[in-house]
Homo-oligomer: A and B are copies of this chain.
Amino acid sequence: MLSLIPLTGIPIVQPRDDLGELIAASLAPSGVAPLGDEDILVLTQKVVSRAENRFVDLRTVQPSPRALELAARTSKDARAVEVMLWDTDEVVRVGPRVIVVRHRLGFTCANAGVDASNVAEPGAEMVLRLPDDPDLSARRIRARLRELTGAAPAVVISDSHGRPWREGTVGVAIGVAGMLPVQDLRGVPDLFGRALQITLVGFADQVAAAASLVSGQANEGLPVVLVRGLPFQPDDTASARQIVRPPEYDLFR
C-alpha cells in the first residue's frame, strides 16, 4: 500500500525559515515519525521559494521593451513579465493569457513559474520566482533532515504545470534529491516475457502529481507531503535536469 500523508502544523513559511527543521518538528504530530531512508518528501516549489526569499516586489521592477510588448499581448503586468524574462531562455508560445517559456532550468512551463498566488496579501504587488537551483534546495533539505533525524528520505520539489492538449494543471518535479527521477525499464519483461518498448517512466513527475492531490492548490496550507510505501531507485547524484528531454529528441520545440 502506498500512503500519502500531508504534514500538519507547518506554518506559513517565511524567508530564511529552516524547512528541514519545520519538517522534522511536524513528523511526530503528523503521526509519521520516525522518518526513513525509504520515504519520499514532496515540497511545493512555493514553500521552498518562500524560505529562500525568492520574492520580488514589483514596485522595484522596470519593464524592458520586450516585457512591455509581451504584457500588451497577454494582458499581464509588464513588471511581472519582466521578472519572467529574467528566468527565460526562450519564449516558446504566447497565448491570450499565457507566456510559455523554456526556463533557464530547462523546463518548458507557463510564465517561467512566476506567480502571485499564495504569495502575499492582495495589493502587496509581490511575485515569487522559482528556487534558484531546486536540485540544490532538495539536497540541502535532505542533508538537514539527516542531521536532525538520522534518516535521509528522497526529496522532490514540485510545481504545477499546464500541458499542451489537456485541460488542468498537474504536479511535476522541478527538483529532486536521493532518487532517480526517470525510471528506465528498457529490456524489462512484460507479463508475457516480451521486452518492453515503452521504456522511460516519469517516476518523479508521478510522485509530484500524487502529492498534489493531497497538498492542494488553494488555501489548504499543506505544502509538504510524505509518500510512504513506494519503492524507488536511490541515487545521490540525481537531478531534475534528467527529466528535461534533450532538444534532439523533442518534437515540439
Interface string of A208-247 (1 = CB under 8 A from B): 0110111001110100000000100000000000111100
Is B2 touching A166 in the complex (CB atoms < 8 A)?
no
Is A1 touching B4 in the complex (CB atoms < 8 A)?
yes
Q: How far is the CA of A213 from the CA of B207 in the complex (A)?
A: 8
Is B213 touching A213 in the complex (CB atoms < 8 A)?
no
For the complex formed, measure the closest distance between the CB of A115 and the CB atoms of chain B, giving whole angstroms: 8
- Taking CB atoms, residues of chain B closer than 8 Å to A160 are 198, 201
The binding surface of chain A is classed by DSSP as: loop
Interface size class of A (residues with CB under 8 A): 35 or more
Q: How far is the CA of A231 from the CA of B209 in the complex (A)?
A: 16
Is A203 touching B122 in the complex (CB atoms < 8 A)?
no
Q: How far is the CA of A122 from the CA of B195 in the complex (A)?
A: 9
Contact of A203 among B108, B168, B243 (CB under 8 A): B168
- Taking CB atoms, residues of chain B closer than 8 Å to A87 are none
